[in-house]
Amino acid sequence: MKPKVIVYKKVDQKVIEFIQHTCDVVYFGKLDAETYPEFLQELKEAQGILGSGLKVDKKLLDQAPHLKIVCNTSVGYDNLDLAELTERGIMATNTPEVLNDTVADTIFGLLLSAARRMPELDDWVKNGHWKSNLGEEWFGVDVHHKVLGIIGMGGIGTALAKRAHLGFDMQILYHNRSRNEKAEQDYQAIYCSLEELLKQADFVCLMTPLTPLTEKMMGKREFELMKETAIFVNGSRGKTVDEEALIHALKTGKILAAGLDVYVQEPVQPENPLLSMKNVVTLPHIGSATYETRLKMAMVGAANLIAGLQGETPPNLIKSGVRVKYSRSIS
């Protein structure tokens, strides 16, 4: 008898067919108020679930007595209660590496867009305001040969450093829980304290995972350490930033601009002040949102799922108990 699994997020039919070779699949294209009760009913017999964004905690797990594996189709896993999963002997997996290049493209695009004010000028042109030569009040700032500070030099951070150094001759500073020798050798990245990075960088990209230690990692003091000409880009998670402190820094000119793909609350609320700021580029959390990459992520997740249910160690097993050692202190 095939194990029963639930896929709870829209995926390509190729993914479903791949899983069906070894599992009975219950598929929910999305979870909402209408489908959630049915999902909970199916969960009672499920041995595995595949998707992203679902909060998997004690309350949910109490309704899944046969669950053996939880597979995220994302690199992040802050939606998973790893301690609770470990206590119950349930495996958890994610999909790192496969999305590195696509997310790095997005983050560097945000950086360029904020620096050269592309969305603002696009709107200006489309609204018929381009009637003469562009005045200095519409000028942006150069990206090439500037200093890029990367907080979190994992796979995506390294891919970002590659684009910046080899493509735009940028000097790379980075702050990480450990040294990244590849980035240092290949892209001349310089390891430094968070304080030093914030003081020197012309662009600051936050690329850390969300953990108890990185929550609100960028706050009032951190923004005050940045140059007034600096641009901040968040490609991690919304809660790694004190959003009120960021809004204050932008309003008061403590920093020049920001590019954001993530927010404390998602979807971002219409009344959020960030949406009315011309010096902020806002994207709807699209870091990995291309057809090719999402398909790869789903297939990696499916491979993790099948391996776990066949008694093998999944390729991307998340090791519980590992704590990211970023410090909120910058002293």
117, 237, 243, 294: the active-site residue: 237
**Does the annotation mark 215 as catalytic?**
no
In the sheet with 69-72, reading across from the earlier edge strand, the strands are 24-27, 4-7, 48-51, 69-72, 91-93
Structure tokens that stand for 203 in this block: 């662009």
User: Which has the closest alpha carbon to 55: 89, 80, 21, 86?
Assistant: 80
88, 116, 248, 285: the active-site residue: 285
State the Cα–Cα distance between residues 81 and 214, nearest whole angstrom. Answer: 17
**Does the annotation mark 323 as catalytic?**
no
User: Which has the closest alpha carbon to 240: 208, 285, 284, 270?
Assistant: 208
Other Cβ atoms less than 10 A from the Cβ of 63: the count is: 13
CA distances from 161 to 9, 108, 233, 284 (A): 32, 10, 14, 23
**Does the annotation mark 144 as catalytic?**
no
Residue 199, judged by CB atoms within 10 A of its CB (0-12, 13-18, 19+), counts as middle
Q: Strand 171-175 vs strand 147-151: parallel, antiparallel, or unpaired? A: parallel
181, 244, 266, 312: the active-site residue: 266
The catalytic residues are 237, 266, 285
